[in-house]
Structure 1
Amino acid sequence: MPINQYVRKYVIMNLGGAIHLNKKFCLVIFIILVLYLYLSSFGSRDENDFTKQTQNKVNLKNLLHMAVIAAENGGNEVKNNINSNKIESKGKTKEGADDKVTTADYKSHCIMQGTIKKLYHDIKLISEEFKTNCEGIDLPSEFPSIPREIDALNDSWVKDSDITVWIDPLDATQEYTEKMYEFVTTMVCVAVNGKPVIGIVHKPFLKETYWGWVGTSKSPNLQVKERSDDELIFIVSRSHTGKVKEMINTKLSEIKNKIVEAGGAGYKVLEVIKGNADVYFHTTAIKKWDICAGNALLFSVGGNMTTLKDELIDYGDTENAVNTNGLVATLKKYLNLKKLLI
């Protein structure tokens, strides 16, 4: 019986009506009240301690849900601005190509960042267009309910200080300006302690969203199909080819191979997973927001992505958002690809 009920019962039984309180009775009541206050204080302290332990933690299942919403919200901005785009250049790439940015890049960034930050204020978030002024951005008042396939997953809590979210509000901007919309994606990646754990790649013009949570689950449409052909198909960048073709043809001259050019890092990773290419190969510098989501997708289906030095990419290092050592992305570790590594 709770102490407060015990006190009430004790008083009723012993007081009944009007009685004269003696010193012994008062002492008993005093002791009971002190004990009650002490236990109440103890219980409150436990609850506060629990709050302190959980208030700085994030449920990855819920973050996955919001990341999917963010990618799709950004995709809507990308589609809605195809006829009202202002195209600018942020400068030249090392290969001499224009590094283009559009109105859609900025608007997609603001809605994606705002969607995640609305619930996760303290999470470290890095976006390609992080310098954009998003003041006055209108966010949806309500978000879609959590999909059944995500809701069925177990909760997983991690410290918010261990999380880094990478956003690419419009991957394949060059192709977007050329109306080659099949290459265009919006992407969100959740890294925990520098490792890509959750990846979302959304194709706005095809209304397709792919997600993967490493070691946990993946979206039903993220189906792996490995090629059985002896010919190695390399998928490479249209606008950042660097010396990739020369390297492949020189170092793998004895192996039958084919080189396919495509736009967008997200698109290229999906082509590898779907079995339309064997290897996504890149020799020049590439930003981490371009590859983190695809890296997580590959890991979630048992694939691999490394630099040309055969090193995993650290997504916890936000001071350096550029991977300067190229990359090799495959569903499995081809032994003959060792020849391509530096």
Structure 2
Amino acid sequence: MKVLVSDEMRARLIQGVQTTAFKVLDIYRRDFEVETKADESPLTEADMASHRALVALLEALTPEVPILSEESGEIPFETRQAWHRYWLIDPLDGTKEFIKKNGEFTLNVALVEDGVPVFGIVHAPVLETTWWGQSGQGAWKQVGGEASAIRVRQLPDPEVSPWKIVGSRSHGSAEFEAFCAQLPAHERVFMGSSLKLCLVAEGAADLYPRLAPTSEWDTAAAQAVVTAAGGEVLNAHSLEPLRYNQQDSLLNPFFIVCCQRDERWEKALRYGLNLRL
């Protein structure tokens, strides 16, 4: 398999993302203004500072690769559909968590090839933790200076060890509640941003059903980490892997992140989705 991101480039990317995080933390630790975007989502100066720094980093390292960022403005599909490979970034995922100052926000950088996230970095500045993963190369978690390989866990027997289900800190839904009601014994953990996917990737959780709206930049980097760790990020309706840059809209379908497939949660998922019919 062709290695798309060399060890040297990966190290430079991780260092660049972590350096950008210091700029974000400077803003996080003082008073800042909050604007409202056209879609009613919040925007802070940290979103834009991170956007500018990450775009500059990627343009310096790979000037030939296009970049799509949440904050880069609309790029029409007629332009994007010609992209074989591109960077997809969310400069600050979990802006609501950033505003609440609970630390559950992340910086996200993904390399997407032919609709598939093949490399991704997720960095949580307050937690001083970085996750990354690459197709065929495995997934890793770095806390401080130490990095260790991560892997999804085997879905346990719920009668022995309850399943661990991750839910959104700020975006609940009736579908999520209906899904959980149909599961065997389980515990719920609520978290913000792409940290939810990372919990599955590192074996700290089993399932993350996202039965509420998200955009492609919210998930791409963490999907690369999850898949490199042996898990899957699946379209909730088709149970096919989530794909990117396939249409004009950049909204994801509902999806589920799993350590492994199991007919019990698949049945619960169908039940939850039926609420919308």
The bucket for the TM-score relative to the shorter chain is 0.7 to 0.9
Normalising by structure 2, report the TM-score: 0.81
Alignment partner, residue 150 of structure 2: 223
Normalising by structure 1, report the TM-score: 0.67
Alignment partner of 1:165 out of 78, 83, 87:
87
Partner of 2:256, secondary structure, is strand
Q: Deviations over 1:104-124 (max 9, x none)?
A: 011001000111012322312
Q: Deviations over 1:211-249 (max 9, x none)?
A: 111112433434236263612221111222122333224
Quote the sequence identity (%): 25
Partner of 2:148, secondary structure, is coil
Question: Is 1:187 the counterpart of 2:108 in the alignment?
Answer: yes
Matching of residues 252-263 of structure 1 within 5 Å: 252=183, 255-263=184-192
Alignment partner of 1:177 out of 81, 99, 108:
99
Alignment partner, residue 24 of structure 1: none
Partner of 1:322, secondary structure, is coil
Question: Is 1:119 the counterpart of 2:61 in the alignment?
Answer: yes
- Whether the aligned pair in 1 keeps the contact of 2:150 and 2:203 (CA below 8 Å) is no
Matching of residues 254-273 of structure 1 within 5 Å: 255-264=184-193, 266-273=194-201
Whole-angstrom CA distance in 1 between matches of 2:246 and 2:18: 26
Higher relative contact order (CA closer than 8 Å, sequence separation 6+): 2
Matching of residues 7-18 of structure 1 within 5 Å: none
Gaps (5+ residues) in structure 1?
A: 1-57, 93-97, 133-159
Alignment partner of 1:317 out of 246, 256, 265:
246
Alignment partner, residue 326 of structure 1: 254
- Whether the aligned pair in 2 keeps the contact of 1:128 and 1:289 (CA below 8 Å) is yes
Alignment partner, residue 130 of structure 1: 72
Whole-angstrom CA distance in 2 between matches of 1:185 and 1:119: 21
- Whether the aligned pair in 1 keeps the contact of 2:202 and 2:229 (CA below 8 Å) is no
Q: Which has the higher helix share?
A: 1
Whole-angstrom CA distance in 2 between matches of 1:197 and 1:68: 15
Matching of residues 1-342 of structure 1 within 5 Å: 60-61=5-6, 63-82=9-28, 83-91=30-38, 99-131=41-73, 161-181=83-103, 183-219=104-140, 220-224=147-151, 226=153, 228=156, 230=158, 231-252=162-183, 255-264=184-193, 266-309=194-237, 310-317=239-246, 319-323=248-252, 325-339=253-267, 340-341=269-270, 342=273
Whole-angstrom CA distance in 2 between matches of 1:244 and 1:222: 34
Whole-angstrom CA distance in 2 between matches of 1:164 and 1:199: 12
Whole-angstrom CA distance in 1 between matches of 2:12 and 2:114: 20
Read off the aligned partner of 2:99 and give its amino acid letter.
Answer: T
Q: Deviations over 1:52-97 (max 9, x none)?
A: xxxxxx95215534432342233122101121422112255xxxxx
CA separation of 1:107 and 1:130: change in aligned 2, threshold 3 A = same
Q: Deviations over 1:256-308 (max 9, x none)?
A: 223322111x2101211233321111112211111011111111011101111
Partner of 1:130, secondary structure, is coil
Read off the aligned partner of 1:191 and give its amino acid letter.
Answer: V
Q: Which runs of 4+ in 1 moved over 6 A?
A: none
Structure 1 position 209, deviation (Å)? 1.6
Whole-angstrom CA distance in 1 between matches of 2:212 and 2:227: 22
What is the CA RMSD across the aligned residues, in angstroms? 2.5
Gaps (5+ residues) in structure 2?
A: 75-81, 141-146
Read off the aligned partner of 1:178 and give its amino acid letter.
Answer: K
- Whether the aligned pair in 1 keeps the contact of 2:85 and 2:111 (CA below 8 Å) is yes
Whole-angstrom CA distance in 2 between matches of 1:293 and 1:166: 8
Read off the aligned partner of 1:224 and give its amino acid letter.
Answer: R
- Whether the aligned pair in 1 keeps the contact of 2:152 and 2:231 (CA below 8 Å) is no
Whole-angstrom CA distance in 1 between matches of 2:257 and 2:51: 26
CA separation of 1:161 and 1:69: change in aligned 2, threshold 3 A = farther
Whole-angstrom CA distance in 2 between matches of 1:274 and 1:188: 18
- Whether the aligned pair in 2 keeps the contact of 1:126 and 1:318 (CA below 8 Å) is no
**Count of residue pairs the alignment pairs up:** 249
Read off the aligned partner of 2:208 and give its amino acid letter.
Answer: Y
CA separation of 1:225 and 1:317: change in aligned 2, threshold 3 A = closer
CA separation of 1:192 and 1:225: change in aligned 2, threshold 3 A = closer
Whole-angstrom CA distance in 2 between matches of 1:308 and 1:130: 28
